Chain A
Amino acid sequence: MTTTPLPDGGAVGEPTDGKARPTAFLDVRDLRVHFPTDDGLVKSVDGLSFQLEKGRTLGIVGESGSGKSVTSLGIMGLHTVGQYGRRKARISGEIWLDGTELMSADPEKVRRLRGREMAMIFQDPLSAMHPYFTVGAQIVEAYRVHHDVDKKTARKRAVELLDRVGIPQPDRRVDDYPHQFSGGMRQRAMIAMALVNNPNLLIADEPTTALDVTVQAQILDLIRDLQKEFGSAVVIITHDLGVVAELADDILVMYGGRCVERGPAERVFRAPQHPYTWGLLGSMPRIDREQTERLIPVKGSPPSLINVPSGCAFNPRCPYADVPKGGVTRTERPELRPVPGTEAGRPHHSACHLAPEERTRIWTEEIAPKL
């Protein structure tokens, strides 16, 4: 089963409120993931929507606590099982994967898709792999869960995948335990495990954060090559703008559980439309530019997700919060709107009360020259 939807016998895949089936391969609509805690409701993800086609890469950028990892677990349906399930995450919205709606689907059906249609690469391969089983055994298991083959065939497949991701002597290393691999090799093995079933959607959550730069470069190249080869849709989640610039076609910037800006990578980097994106770009020392004397940090700290500021979540840290915005009050929440002139093709959206002309002026006159 590569792309055909599951042969379901009923309501699965039919939206409950009669919304049209999506055209995009992955279509996330108004995803909300809330966790009730003793201190209040943590709104980790609060109304996130995006689309992704096969063969393309979406980069989700945000700081810790912006909801990017919760989004990925939400798509994979991992909030409803295990630890998260017990804590009763409240999830709503729609997730369409290749014409199938996952949120209303039978958990058993989602389980059969997980690992086969959609797979995930985790940040820390040492804790994502089982220390008691060999790397090969874990890849074999991932393969045999979804394919009715004997162990020998599955093992051959595991060796083939390890070879593809660049593990030297894969026929020998397949019998090693995770601790016998270096950090970079472990991450390669994780990628092999994720790809063993040829998934159409690959989610990589901070795939290189734990790695050194030289190894990071190897892994990023590997992900790019594999995507070309397999033609899957890739979601890459990171806090590093450099990493998304290397890989992503489109970029989604998250802040306080919501999307503040979304658009083609070239546009988000060349003509960003949200003060938070400006802040991120100004905070980074850049190796490809002339030496700057000072960085331009974002003042304050990220918001608590229990008390997200009403209105724009970035409001308390925004240097342009006091610019008059034509009668819009501080408590009014800015919606994602297309940036004028980019509606056709791959639109560029931003959620900011500043007038588009004002944003363009601030970026070109005040921010860009200082970067």
Chain B
Amino acid sequence: MTIPAQPAPEATEPLLKVEGLVKHFPIVKGLLRRQTGAVRAVDGLDFDVRAGETLGVVGESGCGKSTMGRLITRLLEPTAGKIEFEGRDITHLGVAGMRPMRRDVQMIFQDPYSSLNPRHTVGTIVGAPFRLQGITPEGGVKKEVQRLLELVGLNPEHYNRYPHEFSGGQRQRIGIARALALKPRLVVADEPVSALDVSIQAQVVNLLDDLQEELGLTYVIIAHDLSVIRHVSDRIAVMYLGKIVELADRTSLYERPMHPYTTALLSAVPVPDPGRRVKRERILLKGDVPSPISPPAGCRFHTRCWKATEVCRTDEPRLLAPRAGHQVACHHPENAPGTPEPVTEGAGA
């Protein structure tokens, strides 16, 4: 998206700082509900979100990206690790402790059908954050809600309508208006456009873009669509089986990916150009993503990786930065340093 006019990102304290974040969902069996295992949905994440930037998180289904989104918004209780928002530890804050934070961290959900209460009017839905926080905005709730509806491109006169009277794209706008009601600093959007038609997707992507510029928002956008992620993000984290395998600024990641998984993902994206299909060399990954209940030892990608060697089966690679601003967790990274640096743009360090 747009590059905010801000001091060098390193100079500022990150808005959100995540260290060693883990979430295991227990699997219980039998009468005694004994725990027999765990789904290791998120298994050790370290990353920062800088003020004003858009961090894109991409990965296949089951890689833990949605769980990550729900952890940093504290809709889920982390198993281990640390989440800091503006330097304050929010990892284990209770409901009451989190309430003031909720003004600053908001979420946009994937499904615009199930994320809006069908029995509430648009006015009630978008006005709910004010009621819950006990805030009376200037000029009253109704006026503010109407301003928000206008902000996201809806008719303010639709204040008294119900969600079923709106199309999918319009409902997503209602969800966005609700998320923006309390002027949050950080907005986490989990697959904000994947349920929408192509022509509507572009409208919502542009809206998110405009709102970021207008309101100085910071986004974490979670999506599986690599084309959308490239369009919206300044930096991108690629996840695989609960881990970040690569984290880099947009240009660096898409032009010189270092992790074989990223390379494979990029080559798998269908391109709307019939002439390209002959020329393109595609890396076809074999099989499916292994189960997060018992992820492979060593590098989690080694079972599907064509570059895997003995070391990959035994040692887990750490997330290192072989190139400035480009972190990768791989024993055999591609486009490794030694080759000339690409011209970076955006918030890349």
Contact = CB atoms under 8 A, between A and B. Distances in A.
Interface stretch (B4-12, B100-108, B109-117, B270-278): B270-278
B202 A269 contact: no
A287 interface: yes
A283 B225 CA distance: 14
Contacts of B282: 217, 221
A285 B269 contact: no
Given A185-B288, A266-B274, A294-B206, A214 B170 contact: no
Interface string A261-288: 0000110011000000001111111111
Contacts of A299: 203
Given A239-B198, A288-B276, A184 B288 contact: yes
A183 B289 CA distance: 11
Contacts of A298: 199, 202-203
A241 B271 CA distance: 8
B220 to A, nearest CB: 18
Interface string B254-298: 100000000011111111111111000010110111000000000
B84 interface: no
A217 B284 contact: yes
Interface of A: 63-64, 168, 182-185, 212-218, 220-221, 239-246, 248, 265-266, 269-270, 279-288, 291-292, 294-299, 301-302
A309 to B, nearest CB: 16
Interface residues of B, number: 44
B200 to A, nearest CB: 7
A63 B167 CA distance: 13
Contacts of A240: 198, 270
Interface in B285-316: 285, 287-289
Contacts of B284: 214, 217-218, 221
Contacts of B60: 212-215
Nearest to A240: B270
Contacts of A214: 60, 264-265, 268, 284-285
Contacts of B228: 285
Contacts of B275: 266, 270
Contacts of A281: 272
B226 interface: yes
- Going nearest first, the 10 A-B pairs with the smallest beta carbon separation are A242-B270, A297-B202, A285-B231, A283-B202, A217-B268, A298-B199, A295-B202, A212-B60, A241-B272, A63-B197
Contact of B271 (A221, A245, A266, A295): A245
A213 B226 contact: yes
A270 B272 CA distance: 10
Contacts of A184: 288
20 contacts: A63-B198, A63-B199, A168-B287, A214-B264, A214-B265, A217-B268, A217-B284, A217-B285, A240-B270, A242-B269, A244-B272, A245-B273, A246-B270, A269-B274, A284-B202, A285-B228, A287-B266, A295-B206, A295-B231, A302-B199
Nearest to A64: B197
B207 to A, nearest CB: 9
A280 B264 CA distance: 26
B272 A269 contact: yes
A289 to B, nearest CB: 9
A170 B206 CA distance: 47
Nearest to B272: A241
A265 B274 contact: yes
B254 A287 contact: yes
B195 to A, nearest CB: 10
Given A213-B60, A241-B198, A295-B206, A269 B226 contact: no
Which among B199, B224, B268 has the greatest number of chain A C-beta atoms within 10 A?
Answer: B199
Contacts of B136: none
A286 B198 contact: no
B79 interface: no
Contact of A280 (B198, B266, B274, B277): B198
The CB with the most chain B CB atoms within 10 A, among A182, A214, A286, A298, is that of A214
A113 B110 CA distance: 41
B153 to A, nearest CB: 10
Given A298-B199, A302-B197, A284 B230 contact: no
Interface in B184-219: 197-203, 205-206, 209
B169 interface: yes
Contacts of B201: 283, 297
B209 A213 contact: no
B300 to A, nearest CB: 15
Given A284-B202, A285-B228, A182 B272 contact: no
Contact of A287 (B170, B199, B227): B227
A103 B171 CA distance: 40
Nearest to A304: B167
B206 A286 contact: no
A184 B289 CA distance: 10
Given A213-B226, A214-B264, A218-B284, A287 B271 contact: yes
B61 interface: yes
B111 to A, nearest CB: 14
Contacts of A64: 197
Nearest to A265: B274
Contacts of A217: 267-268, 270, 282, 284-285
Given A212-B60, A214-B285, A283-B198, A245 B169 contact: no
A288 B228 CA distance: 12
A63 B202 CA distance: 13
Given A239-B198, A245-B271, A292-B231, 13 more contacts: A213-B60, A214-B265, A215-B288, A239-B197, A245-B273, A246-B270, A280-B199, A284-B202, A287-B226, A287-B230, A287-B271, A291-B231, A296-B202
A217 to B, nearest CB: 4
Contacts of B61: 183, 212
Nearest to A182: B288
Nearest to A217: B268
Contacts of B269: 213, 242, 287
Interface in B147-204: 167, 169-170, 197-203
A88 to B, nearest CB: 26
Contacts of B250: 291
A35 B284 CA distance: 43
A96 B289 CA distance: 43
A279 B265 CA distance: 27
Question: Which of the listed residues B230, B269, B270, B277 has the most CB atoms from chain A within 10 Å of its own CB?
Answer: B270
